[in-house]
Amino acid sequence: MLSSLYFASSNQNKFEEAKSILSEFGISLKFFKCSLEEIQADTLEEIAQYKANLAYRLCSKPVIVEDAGLFITALKGFPGPYSSFVFDTIGNKGILKMLSKQRRALFQSVIAYCERKQDVMLFEASVQGKISKKLQGKRWGYDPIFIPEGQTVTYSQLKNKNKVSHRYLALRKFANWYLHKQISSGR
């Protein structure tokens, strides 16, 4: 395993997914449990960059944060960058009540890496899909209502979610960059 880096979040589930995914690339991840200010911004990139800088100031170690958003076509991209707030206030049941026939959606993840003050690298990925008509499965977040394109079940019901999710794709981009960086610097 390469030298550790930290995953800053208050979400244990998100950390466990990231740890599992990055371990496949030989990257050890430690949990820096903290509540980072969730700014309201127009893009996930802005939010992730802000949180990565804040996390680095708090732990002074190489750190990654992740911000994700569910963008629903019929709702003109809502909840998008406000996904955490919307989940905490109306949850999956509230989202399901807002939709009728049009159920197309995009789930996006942005990984932000910071090892020096104000020096943040971003890695983005997204998965097209649709919103289910009812809750399916018991995982956390929007997993029980998001069906990725090419699948017939939600993230919650997939046995291989960590191989196809928006988070996996963004973490894979990060891992490839990070490993190249480590090799280039002789670590």
Question: Residue 160 corresponds to which amino acid?
Answer: N
From the number of C-beta atoms within 10 Å of its C-beta (0-12, 13-18, 19+), residue 100 rates as exposed
Tokens (6 digits) for 74:
């019929």
Q: What is the DSSP letter of 145?
A: T
CA-CA distance, 43 to 153, in Å (whole number)?
28
67 an active-site residue?
yes
Pair 20, 7: CB distance under 8 Å: no
Annotated catalytic residue: which of 42, 67, 88, 143? 67
Residues with active-site annotation: 67
